[in-house]
Amino acid sequence: MYKIISKVLANRLREVLGSLLSPSQNAFIQGRQIQDSVLIANESLDSRLNSGVPGLICKLDVEKAYDHVNWNFLMYLLERCGFGVKWHNWIKFCISSVRFSVLINGTPCGFFPSSRGLRQGDSLSPLLFVLVMEALSRLMDRAVARGYLEDDTLVFCGATRDQLYHLKGVLLCFEAVSRLRINLGKSEIVPVGSVVDVEALAHVLGGRIASLPMKYLGLPLGARYKSKEIWNPILEKMERRMAGWKRSYLSKGGRLTLIKSILSSLPTYFLSLFVVPSSVAHRIEKLQRDFLWGGIGDEFKYHLVNWRTICAPIQQGGLGLRQIIPFNQALLGKWLWRFANEQNAYWRQVIASKYGCDRDGWHSKEGRGGHGVLVDITPDIGGKTWPWLFKIAIHKQATVSEYLSWHNDDMVWSVNLHRSLQDWELGEYTDLMAFLYRRKVKRSEVDQMRWDCTTSGLFEVRSYYRMLTSNNNITNFPWKSIWQCRVPHKVAFFSWLVAQEKILTIDNLRCRWILVLDWCFMCKRAGESVNHLMLHCEYAQELWSMIFCLFGISWVMPQTSYALLHCWRRKGPAYVVWNAIPSCLMWLLWRERNQRAFEDSERHSADLKLILIRTLMEWTDAASRLSFPSVFAFIDGCV
């Protein structure tokens, strides 16, 4: 019950928190992102370094942050922020109802209440803590107004004793009222530029001396543009993760799941703010590629499918992994979208004041009036549809408002031309007017930026990535027959390889310059290929014939496994068993083939038929509500 109450209060508090806190705070606030703080800090540091004026960065560490919050001070802040008595009582109940117990010889002995602090893991606690830290931000603002120091999210100050003494005084005042102590022993003093006598300055504040680049909110601060060294923590973290996984017997399906859920997400935080060097991007992709195809430890394994195909969408025959460089571009593109839409955001004000709106890519077109969005008529009129009208148009680029006027509630379009139209130009002009009058313009609405790649009109990193990596040669790949049938993930991965004709049959081994006898291990005849082994081999045809006889159908076997998968799938819950048959049959054929090749052991086709039926029954039981008491009941259910 408490968690429900806390969640409701947190959701309501989150709605108004942005209007209460200063722009420099970005954590846990709707409409603000934690990367904003890192961007502002990097830009502030860059400006200081370019100015040539020495300074200091003070990175502060709050000691046991949640445990030391003064409840009376928190209630005072809520009152000053305009919260009513009912809200005070709700928050007071939430933070004071916690009870603790002490373990004596492993046994809890009684419970006692607390007198300060916030609950760990409570959805309300981060929001209340940010509100408490706002008091420190306001104290910093007062010091700035008196000319003592400057601050953003980190504390940037001049390299003088006076400023450090004033900073220390502000921190002591904050500790006195909130009981939150700044641990100066763990705090860092970082010199910016050529600072004289850094040791003496650090002694004033009591922090330890560090150097640039440093880490702030998990991202590098003060690193060189496109520096490769800042990506070392990401590469090391990926290698540590894979070191444990490589010692486990993981299937290709399991490896693919780990890459999608863990490995591909590790660099996302860095990619959201920094341009990744191509060498680092290739290294990240190589780690994922080697892990996907790798064996136990450093065992060599062939990479059966090229990386570009693997990174294609599942619907186009890929595995849906991401290429690092286009993904980095898509994440950075979100900043341009936010720059155009978040006009009052603090980070945008920093960028605009430093670079302006027309330099280094920071540029966006603003709508004017109720229907003033810029319309680029150059490609439509000039290049393709109406080239002659474009040549005589007065304005080669014009807003809608320059071509559109209103007569009462009716739209009136007019295109200003240098001269009168010739008779042979009237047809183009008529087509242009018809094109314009088909466009409905809402007179009363204000212009908005719209992202054309989504139906909602809002920017999505996923849609931008798809646009950057789109392939016009879209193939009609049978992905539903592979990934939407109820089979184990490793079997679906194998079926995908079969559809790509990339499993290591004799013909594919010979393409890799491995000279082996070209014969089929199943039928003992020459010419083992993917399609022969899975479809046309005598051994395989016995299994397929048994399936067709069991379901009472006649079937003309296609030439390729790709074509078989493409025409096999049926919709509906009644076809759960039917849709799983190709993957199951080809998986068992491949296991039997490898057993004959490497263990010199073979089974009769009758045994494999029984194994096929049992495997289908087990997979159906595990993946659906259908249950069969015996193999015979399963066969009767298929008939």
pLDDT at 145: 43
Q: Which of 254-263, 326-335, 467-476, 530-539 has the lowest mean pLDDT?
A: 467-476
pLDDT value at residue 472: 65
* Whole-number Cα distances in Å, 583 to 143, 365, 495, 568, 587: 70, 53, 6, 11, 6
Q: Are residues 89 and 166 in the same domain?
A: yes
Phi, psi of 258 (to 5 degrees): -65, -40
635/396 Cα distance (integer angstroms): 73
Residues 109 and 251 reside in one and the same domain: no
Q: Which two tokens stand for residue 177?
A: 């009222």
Residue 114 CB neighbours (<10 A): 15
| Whether 206 and 243 share a structural domain | no
* Within-domain flag for 444: no
Rg of the chain, C-alpha, whole Å: 34
Q: What is the pLDDT of residue 182?
A: 82
More confident residue, 639 or 635: 635
**Structure confidence at residue 329 as a pLDDT band (50, 70, 90):** very high
Residue labelled with tokens 């400057």:
150
The pLDDT value recorded for residue 629 is: 64
Residue with tokens 């919709």: 571
- 196 plus 57 within the same structural domain: yes
Structure confidence by residue, pLDDT tens digits, 462-472: 999 999 998 76
The average pLDDT across 189-218 equals 87
Average pLDDT value for residue range 245-252? 84
Q: Give the C-alpha distances (Å, rounded to integers) separating 365 from 332, 337, 344, 375.
A: 18, 11, 16, 11
The per-residue pLDDT for 158 is 84
281 and 426 assigned to the same domain: no
Whether 252 and 277 map to the same domain: the answer is yes
Of 221, 237, 268, the domain-final residue: 221
Residue 484 main-chain phi, psi, to 5 deg: -105, 5
DSSP-based three-state secondary structure for 51: helix
- The region of weakest confidence among 98-107, 184-193, 478-487 is 98-107
Burial class for 180, CB neighbours closer than 10 Å (0-12, 13-18, 19+): buried
pLDDT at 113: 76
Token couple for 155: 């504390």
β-pairing, 150-151 with 374-375? Answer: unpaired
Inside any domain, residue 474: no
> 17 falls in which pLDDT band (50, 70, 90)?
confident
How far is CA 596 from its chain centroid? 45
pLDDT of residue 519: 87
Structure tokens at 429: 């002009």
CB neighbours of residue 153 within 10 Å: 20
CA torsion 129→132→137→142, rounded to 10°? 180
DSSP state of 67: G
Domain annotation covers residue 67: yes
Please say whether the beta carbons of 238 and 248 come within 8 A: no
Between residues 111 and 244, which one has the greater pLDDT?
244
Query: 526-530 — which CB contacts under 8 Å span 24+ positions?
Result: 529/501, 529/505, 530/498, 530/501, 530/502, 530/503, 530/505, 530/561
- Confidence category of residue 378, pLDDT binned at 50, 70, 90: very low
Q: What is the structure's pLDDT at 374? A: 45
The average pLDDT across 374-400 equals 63
pTM: 0.83
- What digits encode the pLDDT tens for the residues 19-59? 888 887 777 777 788 889 899 889 989 988 888 888 888 88
Hey, what are 97's tokens? 């109802």
Ranges of H-type helices in 158-246: 161-178, 198-205, 232-245
Compute the mean pLDDT over every residue in the chain, rounded to the nearest whole number.
Answer: 84
Sorting pLDDT into bands at 50, 70 and 90, what band is 110? confident
Strands (E), 379-531: 398-399, 404-407, 410-413
Lowest mean pLDDT of 33-37, 187-191, 442-446, name the range: 442-446
Q: Is residue 473 part of a domain?
A: no
**Which residue in the block uniquely carries the two structure tokens 């083992």?**
528
Distance CA 205, CA 193 (A): 19
Output the pLDDT for position 375: 46
Q: Could you give the count of Cα atoms lying within 13 Å of 563 in the half-sphere of its Cβ?
A: 7
pLDDT confidence bin for 94, thresholds 50/70/90: confident
Output the CA torsion sign for 107, 113, 115, 119: positive
Q: What does the pLDDT average to over 245-266?
A: 90
Say if residue 632's pLDDT is above 60. Answer: no
Average pLDDT over residues 410-430: 79
The residue among 101, 141, 131, 97 whose CA lies nearest residue 16 is 131
Inter-residue contact 361 to 336 (CB < 8 Å):
yes
pLDDT (tens digit, 9 = 90+) per residue, 534-587? 999 999 999 999 999 888 888 888 999 999 999 998 887 668 888 999 999 999
Q: Which residues pair with 188 in a beta bridge?
A: 59, 208
Structural domain boundaries enclosing 506: 479-638
d(CA 183, CA 185): 5
pLDDT at 146 over 50: no
Pair 616, 494 in one domain? yes
Q: Do 187 and 254 reside in the same domain of the chain?
A: no
% the chain with pLDDT above 70:
89
Position 46 in a domain: yes
The answer to whether the peptide bond before residue 213 is cis (omega within 30 degrees of 0) is yes
Q: Are residues 112 and 249 in the same domain?
A: no
Q: How confident is the model at residue 252 (pLDDT cuts 50, 70, 90)?
A: very high
- In this structure, is residue 502 part of a structural domain? yes
- Centroid of chain to Cα 438: 38
CB 293 within 8 A of CB 301: yes
Cβ(480)–Cβ(575) below 8 Å: no
Higher per-residue confidence, 384 vs 319 = 319
Residue 638 has pLDDT above 70, yes or no: no
Q: In this predicted structure, what is the pLDDT of residue 297?
A: 62
Domain-located, residue 59: yes
Least confident range from 169-173, 189-193, 378-382: namely: 378-382
Q: How confident is the model at residue 235 (pLDDT cuts 50, 70, 90)?
A: very high
In a domain, 141, yes or no: yes
The confidence score (pLDDT) of residue 105 equals 79
Q: What is the mean pLDDT of residues 621-631?
A: 69
pLDDT surpasses 90 at 259: yes
Give 218-227 pLDDT, tens digit per residue: 899 988 878 8
Query: 438 or 251: whose pLDDT is higher?
Result: 251
Q: For the chain, give the longest Cα–Cα distance.
A: 103
Mean local confidence (pLDDT), 340-361:
81
Gap between the Cα atoms of 603 and 246, Å rounded: 32
* pLDDT value at residue 626: 66
Answer whether 202's CB lies under 8 Å from 208's CB.
Answer: yes
| One domain, residues 81 and 107 | yes
CB 226 within 8 A of CB 277: yes
Q: At 636, which helix (H) or strand (E)?
A: helix 631-638
Q: How confident is the model at residue 162 (pLDDT cuts 50, 70, 90)?
A: confident
pLDDT in the model for residue 536: 92
pLDDT interval class at 283 (50, 70, 90) = very high
> Do both 162 and 192 map to the same domain?
yes
Asked whether residue 29 falls in the same domain as residue 103, the answer is: yes
Domain count, the chain: 5
What percent of the chain is predicted at pLDDT more than 90? 30
pLDDT at 628: 66
Look at residue 109 and give its three-state secondary structure. Answer: strand
User: Please, which pLDDT band fits residue 402 given cuts at 50, 70 and 90?
Assistant: confident
Q: What is the pLDDT of residue 147?
A: 40
